[in-house]
């Protein structure tokens, strides 16, 4: 089921099996033995440092880092498919951990494509030598998020965060919120308005900003209901000065960041699938072991029907996920619409899977120490990760019917 061997290359199969061993022997035992640890109010006390160290030992942190810097370079022709397989496996163990690592993978690809060689060498060396090193992609702002991604390129949707060139330094002012890894990252990719006159799509630039840069302040960790092992943060930039060579892309940053955004939606779907697989597998064990009315639950018709429904939804998500990831790797014209489709479809279907899992566990499904409710909490987070459902649907319709679809933002 799901990512069957016939869909995988030998290298993908090997990486999946390595990831599965890490999840089974390191991640799942940690979660099972520490059911309440995600509720620690000190964000840095939640995930045992050993988890990222073991992920590093398994080679999972170096994905996307160019091979000549010591990373694990993925075949561009299968990169999104490979990352989807690995992200699914990690999320099967812990979705917040998958979030932590996925951000690093995507940003590594971005830095490898756009940063000058001397900065690549410096930051990739630091990243690979420090297992706790995290990276964050700073795009969302307090005033606007998913709605800015509609085809509505007018001044009022420009980034509020601004960057101005002053001699040989860029000065950045603004704020970002809902940033994955934002609370504890060591390196940020920051998007800022550099030209008011041309709109967000052509006037937004991206910068590498180290955490210890004067003026950069991490103001809070957002306390989310799920995915709590990834510390989502808010960041303020107050006259943050970075050297001119820390500019990644001038003006065209949003268009050029397709290497980040398209795989990102595939990976949200992969994380959803991993959560659903875990909920399904735990439910399968439960309905075979639990006896009710004189026979195992699996023998009850209502239970059997729900279990079949869960399995069918997982297969459907996996099939669309393979289709979308392949489209990204092949640079198909359909890639954007398929990425939005799989992100929306997976998030909704996996919530349905997790609801069935909770209900088939009866009262145990709501108990923290059992862990089934955690799958529901984690799955719900993905409904709005990497774009809300409604905005994603608007983009799907615009892609399918460009001549007749509505504007959906701004003037009719």
Q: Give pLDDT tens digits for 175-185.
A: 999 999 999 99
- Enter the pTM of the model: 0.94
Q: What is the pLDDT at residue 353?
A: 98
Kindly report which listed range (1-5, 18-22, 327-331, 386-390) carries the lowest average pLDDT score: 1-5
Q: Is the pLDDT of residue 192 over 80?
A: yes
Q: What is the mean pLDDT of the chain?
A: 92
Q: What is the pLDDT at residue 45?
A: 94
Cα 229 off chain centre by:
13
Spatial CB neighbours of 138, under 8 Å, sequence gap ≥ 6:
161, 176, 179, 182, 188, 189, 190, 191, 209, 235
Q: How confident is the model at residue 263 (pLDDT cuts 50, 70, 90)?
A: confident
Q: If you average pLDDT over residues 144-150, what whole number do you get?
A: 62
Alpha-carbon dihedral sign for residues 256, 262, 265, 267: negative
Q: Is the pLDDT of residue 148 over 90?
A: no
Q: What is the pLDDT at residue 70?
A: 93
Q: Is the CB of residue 383 less than 8 Å from the CB of residue 351? A: yes
Kindly report which listed range (135-149, 154-168, 336-350, 392-406) carries the lowest average pLDDT score: 135-149
Task: Return the higher-pLDDT residue of 399 and 318.
Answer: 318
- Output b/e per residue, 128-138; b: 16+ Cβ within 10 A: beebebbbbbb
Query: In angstroms, what CA-CA distances link 238 with 139, 195, 216, 253?
Result: 16, 19, 6, 22
Spatial CB neighbours of 85, under 8 Å, sequence gap ≥ 6:
3, 8, 12, 15, 16, 19, 270
Q: Is the pLDDT of residue 81 over 90?
A: yes
Domains of the chain by range and CATH? 5-133 (1.10.540.10), 136-250 (2.40.110.10), 256-400 (1.20.140.10)
Q: What is the pLDDT at residue 133?
A: 97
Mean pLDDT comparison of 38-42, 197-201, 387-391, highest-scoring range: 38-42
Q: What is the pLDDT at residue 411?
A: 54
Q: Is the CB of residue 370 less than 8 Å from the CB of residue 361? A: yes
Q: In whole angstroms, give the CA distance from residue 17 to residue 21.
A: 6
The string of DSSP letters for 177-220 reads: EEETTTTT-SEEEEEEE--GGG-HHHHEEEEEEETTSTTEEEEE
Q: What is the pLDDT at residue 327?
A: 96
Q: Is the pLDDT of residue 153 over 90?
A: no
Q: How confident is the model at residue 322 (pLDDT cuts 50, 70, 90)?
A: very high
Q: What is the pLDDT at residue 391?
A: 86
Q: If you average pLDDT over residues 85-100, what whole number do you get?
A: 97
Percent of the chain with pLDDT over 70: 94
Q: What is the pLDDT at residue 3?
A: 52
Q: How confident is the model at residue 135 (pLDDT cuts 50, 70, 90)?
A: very high
Instruction: Decide: helix, strand or coil at residue 122.
Output: helix
- Which residues, listed in sequence order, are joined to residue 249 by a DSSP beta bridge? 206
Q: How confident is the model at residue 2 (pLDDT cuts 50, 70, 90)?
A: low
Q: If you average pLDDT over residues 100-107, what whole number do you get?
A: 94
- Which residues, listed in sequence order, are joined to residue 166 by a DSSP beta bridge? 169
Kindly report which listed range (106-110, 234-238, 270-274) carries the lowest average pLDDT score: 106-110
369: which 2 tokens? 């120490």
Q: Is the pLDDT of residue 412 over 60?
A: no
Q: How confident is the model at residue 270 (pLDDT cuts 50, 70, 90)?
A: very high
Q: Is the CB of residue 279 less than 8 Å from the CB of residue 375? A: yes
Q: What is the pLDDT at residue 299?
A: 94
Q: What is the pLDDT at residue 230?
A: 96
pLDDT digits (tens, 9 = 90+) for 193-226: 999 888 777 889 999 999 999 999 999 999 999 9
Task: End-to-end CA distance of the chain: give it in Å, rounded.
Answer: 46
């Amino acid at each position: 089921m799901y990512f069957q061997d016939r869909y995988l290359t030998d290298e993908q199969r090997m990486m999946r099996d390595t990831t599965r061993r890490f999840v089974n022997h390191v991640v799942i035992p940690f979660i099972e033995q520490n059911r309440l640890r995600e509720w620690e109010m000190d964000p840095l006390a939640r995930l045992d440092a050993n988890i990222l160290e073991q992920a590093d030992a398994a080679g999972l942190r170096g994905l996307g880092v160019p091979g000549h810097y010591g990373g694990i370079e993925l075949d561009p022709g299968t990169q999104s498919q490979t990352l989807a397989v690995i992200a699914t496996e990690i999320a099967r163990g812990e979705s917040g951990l998958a979030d932590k690592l996925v951000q690093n993978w995507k940003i590594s690809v971005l830095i490898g494509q756009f940063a000058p060689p001397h900065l690549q060498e410096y930051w990739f060396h630091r990243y690979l030598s420090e297992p706790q090193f995290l990276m964050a992609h700073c795009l969302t702002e307090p005033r606007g998020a998913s709605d800015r991604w509609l085809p509505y390129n007018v001044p009022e949707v420009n980034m509020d965060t601004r960057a101005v060139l002053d001699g040989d330094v860029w000065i950045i002012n603004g704020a970002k919120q809902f940033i994955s890894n934002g609370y504890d990252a060591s390196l940020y990719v920051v998007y800022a308005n550099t030209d008011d006159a041309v709109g967000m799509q052509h006037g937004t630039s991206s910068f590498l900003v180290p955490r210890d840069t004067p003026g950069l302040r991490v103001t809070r960790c957002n306390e989310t209901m799920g995915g709590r092992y990834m510390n989502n943060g808010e960041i303020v930039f107050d006259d943050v000065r970075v050297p001119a060579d820390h500019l990644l892309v001038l003006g065209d940053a949003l268009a050029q960041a397709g290497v980040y955004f398209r795989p990102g939606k595939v990976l949200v779907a992969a994380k959803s699938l991993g959560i659903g697989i875990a909920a399904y597998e735990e439910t399968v064990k439960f309905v075979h072991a639990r006896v009710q009315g004189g026979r195992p639950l699996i023998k009850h018709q209502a239970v059997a029907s729900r279990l079949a429904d869960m399995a069918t939804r997982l297969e459907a998500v996996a099939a669309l996920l393979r289709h979308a990831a392949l489209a990204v790797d092949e640079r198909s014209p359909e890639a954007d619409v398929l990425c939005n489709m799989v992100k929306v479809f997976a998030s909704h279907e996996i919530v349905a899977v997790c609801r069935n899992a909770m209900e088939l566990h009866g009262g145990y499904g709501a108990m923290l120490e059992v862990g089934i409710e955690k799958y529901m909490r984690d799955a719900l987070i993905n409904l709005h990760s990497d774009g809300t459902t409604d905005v994603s649907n608007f983009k799907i319709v615009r892609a399918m019917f460009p001549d007749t679809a509505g504007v959906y933002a701004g003037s009719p």
